[in-house]
Amino acid sequence: MLRSHLQTGLRLRSLTPLLTALLFLAGSALAAQETVIQPFNNANGFDPVSGPVADEAGNLYGTTFTGGKDECGTVYRLSAPAQMGGAWTKTAFYSFHCGADGGLPYGGLIFDKRGNLYGTTTLGGGGSCLGGCGTVFELVRPTKKGHRWTKSILYTFQGGTTDGSYPEASLVFDTQGNLYGTSLLGGGSECGGRGCGTVYELSPPQQEGGAWSEAVLHTFVVGVPSTDGTEPSCNLIFDTAGNLYGTTGGGGSYNAGAIFELSPPATKGEAWSETVIYSFIGLPDGSNPMAGLVLAPGGVFYGTASGLGPSLGGTVFELAPPAQMGGAWTETVLHGFTLGADGGSPLASVVLDAAGNLYGTTLIGGNYSCDPGVFVYGCGVVYKLAPPAVEGEEWTETILHNFSGGGDGIQPLGGLTFGKFGLLYGTTEEGGPSGAGTVFSVTR
C-alpha cells in the first residue's frame, strides 16, 4: 500500500492503474554503495517524504511529514562529518504543532543568501480549510553557536475561491527576493468544490519585520473549452528570461497532466500570462507529472511523469523549446519504467550533473523480494540515466541501488541532491531500524 499518498487524504490522484499493470523484470545492474546516514524514529520525525538540501559545508536539512512532539512533522539538520564514513549528527530543531504554526510539511526546504531556511506546510495556519489551509514559514539561522533557530510564519493560506490551499511543493526565489510556489488546491469552486490549485508570489516587506504580501499569479481551471492543468504539487523553476515553469498532476488536453509556462507582465502589477506548453497523453509519453522540472543548457527541460508511458511505469522525459517563437515544444521519452527491476512510479524530479547524466528515484519497482506481502511491487530504486554518445540514440539506465525493505529503507519518495564527498543524498519514506524512514547516501 502506498501509505504516503493516503495518510491525510490530500492526494487526489491514485497510483492504482500502475499497480494493476502487467509486471515483468527488465534486467539488473551492479548496485553502487548505499549507506544509511540517519534513521528516523517517531520522536524525532517520521516519513521524510522530500529530499534534503545541502549547505556550503555539506550539512543536510530537511523535513519529515509526521512525527515529532505533536505528530505534525519536524525540521531536521544533519551535521556532516569531517571525513567520509564518519558519523552524521542529527538535530530535530523544530516540531510543528498543527496549529497557527502549520503542520505536515510535505515539500522540501530552500536557503536564502544568508543561510536562512524557507518551506511550506500542507495544513495548519488557518483559513477556510478543515485543519487549516497551510503556511509558508521561515527559519532564521542563529547568530551564535548553540542558539536556536527562530521560526516565523510568512503567510497563512485562506483557501476558498480566491486563495490557494494545501501547498505541497518547495519554494523558489527570484533575484529580487520574492518567493514563488504552488498550492495543490484552492483558487476557485471547481475540482469538487475545493479549487484546482494556484501559483502564488510572496513579496518581502519594505521594512524588516513587516508583513509579507501574497499575490495569486494564476488560478487553474477545468472544463470545456479549458485545457488548463489542475492540482500542481511541483516546485517551480525560472528560465533566464524570468518565465516560470511547472507541472500539474491533472488536467491538460487529455486529463493526464500538463507542463505550463507563466510569463511576467511587461508592466509591473499587470497579470502574468499562463500557457500550457505540453499536455501528456498517457500512452506512450506518461501521465501525472507531480515533480518539478530541471533546466539544462539550451533551454531544454528534464522531468518525470509518475504513470503510464510506453511500459506503464512512468517516464523520464525531455522537453525541448520550439525553433521559432510560438511553435510547439517537443517531448521525448528518455526512459519508460517497466515497474520491474528498472523501477516504477518516479514521483520526484531528477538532478543533472555536469556531464549531462540524470539521477533520480522511483517509489516502487526494483527488488521484488522485499518485505513480501506488503510491498509486493518492489521497494524502489535509485537510478542513473546516461546520455547517448550519438544524439538521437537511447539513453542508458543504471540502477545505483535497489532498496531491500529492511534497514536500508523503503519507498524513496523524494528527490536526490548532490552533497559532500561527491555523493548523492536522499530519503526513504519508510524503512530503517524503526520503520520511520531514512536519510541515505549513494555513490555514483
Count of alpha carbons within 13 angstroms of residue 297, beta-carbon side: 5
Average pLDDT over residues 147-176: 96
Query: What is the C-alpha to C-alpha distance for residues 278 and 28, in angstroms, rounded to an integer?
Result: 33
User: At residue 432, does pLDDT exceed 50?
Assistant: yes
Instruction: Check residue 211 and give its pLDDT.
Output: 95
* Cα–Cα distance measured from residue 44 to residue 95, given in angstroms and rounded to the nearest whole number: 8
The number of beta carbons lying within 10 Å of the beta carbon of residue 376 is 13
The Cα–Cα gap between 334 and 421 comes to: 29
For residues 100 and 124, give the distance between their C-alpha atoms in angstroms, rounded to a whole number. Answer: 6
pLDDT at 373: 56
Does 6 have pLDDT greater than 60? no
What percent of the chain shows pLDDT beyond 70? 91
Q: List pLDDT tens digits, range 59-74.
A: 999 999 999 999 999 9
pLDDT category, 28, cuts 50, 70, 90? very low
pLDDT tens digits along 342-383: 999 999 999 999 999 999 999 999 987 776 555 568 999 999
Structure confidence at residue 18 (pLDDT): 33
Phi and psi at 420, nearest 5°, equal -60, 150
Residue identified by cell 503542520 is 103
Q: Identify the pLDDT of residue 102.
A: 98
165-179 pLDDT tens trace: 999 999 999 999 999
pLDDT given at position 209: 82
Least confident of 104-113, 223-232, 329-338: 223-232
Say yes or no to pLDDT of 144 above 90.
no
Per-residue pLDDT, 93: 83
Phi, psi torsion values for 4, nearest 5 degrees: -60, -25
Specify the pLDDT at position 355.
Answer: 96
